[in-house]
Amino acid sequence: MTRTDLGLTIGEFGRRAGLSIKALRLYDVSGLLTPVSVDPSGYRRYAESQLGRARTISLLRQLDMPLSVVAEVLAASPGAAVDRLDRWWAGQEQLVEVRRHSVGWLRTRLLASEPAEPGYEVHRRWVPATKVASIRFETDQQGLLDTIQRGHWEVRNVLEAAGAVTTAEHWVLYHGFVTPESVAPIEVCVPFTGPVEPAWDVVIRVEPAHDEAYATVSRDDCFYPRIMTAYAAVESFLSAAALPMSGPPREVYLDSWVNLTGADPFVHVATPFTAPEA
């Protein structure tokens, strides 16, 4: 029996695929790239036909794509795989732009002795009871954008498969304090109409009707820590009016990042409150 008949050793396969032995073992454990055989001593062997998949994984990982997204791309049909790749890459471009704004904000603050923060006008509105599909994750500040995009994509997929009627609006509810140093639970919600059953980690619920105070943030200002000024404005408004919070703070996104330009209203930073009885 020849070496080719036995398959490629992990070392030779890794060399030809451009992957380290450590990476190949990780992809085996994660189910992304399973060897064709493992002998009683634990030696892995791979088929030459697996090189294409391995090189695809290598390239996606060089782009810093998370393993969970790599798995989704590889499991999808060609068209769906391209769509998933495009969605993920759009998120990366958004992240770069957000970071660019953060650096600009920091430069302004560092150069000014008393940097001025543009104020936000706070409004109040009544929000009727709304049926939403939602999914929860825990994340820190660094992973927040990717987590929101992943949740939004997963919920939209469930709603589209069920034929639900939606708009571009989606929400992110903060059930804890998300900071650069600590994780907290968030909930990504998409309002919809139509019959939809829960699927996977996506739940269907009704968000209770409530009064809400909110400040509108433009696309260009929707980055950390600039957006925190809008949160502070809403908190000050509620405090001055002695209005107690009645639900978690949230961000109500009006459309997709790619559909808007710099000064367009992008998100309402909002907090539900209990109005005094008349």
Indicate which CATH number applies to the domain containing 53: 1.10.1660.10
Same domain, 173 and 260: yes
Answer whether 14's CB lies under 8 Å from 20's CB.
yes
The span from the CA of 166 to the CA of 18, in Å, is 43
Query: pLDDT by residue (tens digit) across 29-79?
Result: 888 999 998 888 778 899 999 999 999 999 898 888 888 889 989 998 999
Which of 16, 41, 65 marks a domain boundary?
A: 65
Any domain includes 152: yes
Per-residue pLDDT, 1? 35
Same domain, 187 and 258: yes
Any domain includes 86: no
The span from the CA of 186 to the CA of 173, in Å, is 6
Same domain, 154 and 265: yes
Per-residue pLDDT, 68? 83
Any domain includes 94: no
Any domain includes 80: no
Same domain, 261 and 130: yes
The span from the CA of 34 to the CA of 9, in Å, is 13
Any domain includes 103: no
The span from the CA of 206 to the CA of 187, in Å, is 13
Same domain, 150 and 265: yes
Per-residue pLDDT, 149? 85
Its domain, for residue 269, covers 122-273
Which of 65, 91, 112 marks a domain boundary?
A: 65
Answer whether 250's CB lies under 8 Å from 172's CB.
yes
The bridge status of strand 184-191 relative to strand 210-218 is unpaired
Any domain includes 48: yes
Q: For residue 145, what is the domain's CATH number?
A: 3.20.80.10
Same domain, 14 and 138: no
How many percent of the chain have pLDDT more than 90?
Answer: 46
Same domain, 132 and 17: no
Query: pLDDT by residue (tens digit) across 154-193?
Result: 899 899 999 999 999 999 999 998 887 888 999 999 999 9
Average pLDDT of 212-240? Answer: 88
pLDDT at 110 over 80: no
Answer whether 121's CB lies under 8 Å from 215's CB.
yes
Tokens, residue 109? 């603050």
Q: Using alpha carbons only, what angle is made at residue 246 by residues 174 and 145, rounded to the nearest 5 degrees?
A: 15
Same domain, 28 and 143: no
Any domain includes 96: no
Q: How many angstroms from the chain centroid is the CA of residue 158?
A: 16
Same domain, 244 and 132: yes
Per-residue pLDDT, 167? 93
The span from the CA of 169 to the CA of 192, in Å, is 10
Per-residue pLDDT, 113? 62
pLDDT at 2 over 60: no
Q: How many angstroms from the chain centroid is the CA of residue 227?
A: 17
Same domain, 126 and 60: no
Same domain, 48 and 138: no
Any domain includes 117: no
Which of 65, 84, 110 marks a domain boundary?
A: 65
Answer whether 73's CB lies under 8 Å from 81's CB.
yes
Number of structural domains, the chain? 2
